[in-house]
Amino acid sequence: MKSVFIWGGTGQFKVIKPILKLRYSFFYVYDRDDNISLDMEDVLLTSDYDVVKSWMSQDLFKDFSIALGGFRGEERLQIRSTLLKEGLNDIPPLVHERAWVSDTSTISDGCHILAMSSISEFCTIGEYSIINTNASVDHDCTIGKGVHIMPGATVAGAVFIGDYSSIGSGAVILPKIKIGSRSVIGAGAVVTRDLWIIK
């Protein structure tokens, strides 16, 4: 029985679990919120990081994934660094069987590509980014690390999105737009010009 460690036990875990089940049969899950409950026979859940350390000392798993969605891209990368130092391994990108990813595109470690989403030709998706349900990324896009493109968002061709940005549900990014790091695009927005934060 092959096991995996998951950091995060709420919505993002629920949507990646069907993809993970193709590779793993048991899930050790940590979530800081001690009020959540996962009534699943193949999941062991804790909110106590000392318990996680005990699991690690027992060598119960080698691989990990980080199931934190929303505006938490930078946190995903920080947690990744911690887990790599603990000797765990990134799992390959998680791509739902009902998603489409062009053979000419590059999907980095830790990414979640969810159901009904599409990534067209010659795109690069950075580490620990999420392309959520029914989102579309057209040709020649560069998506930074820790980005979350939320459900139903449309990213047109040749768009650049900087690290740790979030594109809200149903938003539309027009072709050749450049969006700076840590940007937040609201749900339903239509982005018609470049958005850079100048410091």
How far is the C-alpha of 99 from the C-alpha of 134, rounded, in Å?
8
pTM of the model: 0.94
How far is the C-alpha of 145 from the C-alpha of 182, rounded, in Å?
10
How far is the C-alpha of 108 from the C-alpha of 125, rounded, in Å?
6
- pLDDT, one tens digit for every residue, the chain (199 residues): 699 999 999 999 999 999 999 999 999 999 999 898 888 899 999 999 999 999 999 999 999 999 999 999 999 999 999 999 999 999 999 999 999 999 999 999 999 999 999 999 999 999 999 999 999 999 999 999 999 999 999 999 999 999 999 999 999 999 999 999 999 999 999 999 999 765 5
How far is the C-alpha of 162 from the C-alpha of 47, rounded, in Å?
32
The domains located in the chain, with CATH, are 3-90 (3.40.50), 93-189 (2.160.10.10)
Note whether 106 and 118 are within 8 A (CB): no
The conformation of residue 25, written as its DSSP 8-state character, comes to S
How far is the C-alpha of 151 from the C-alpha of 131, rounded, in Å?
8
Q: How far is CA 4 from CA 139, 156, 166, 169, in A?
A: 33, 35, 27, 29
- For residue 89, is it left (φ>0), alpha (ψ between -120 and 50) or beta? beta
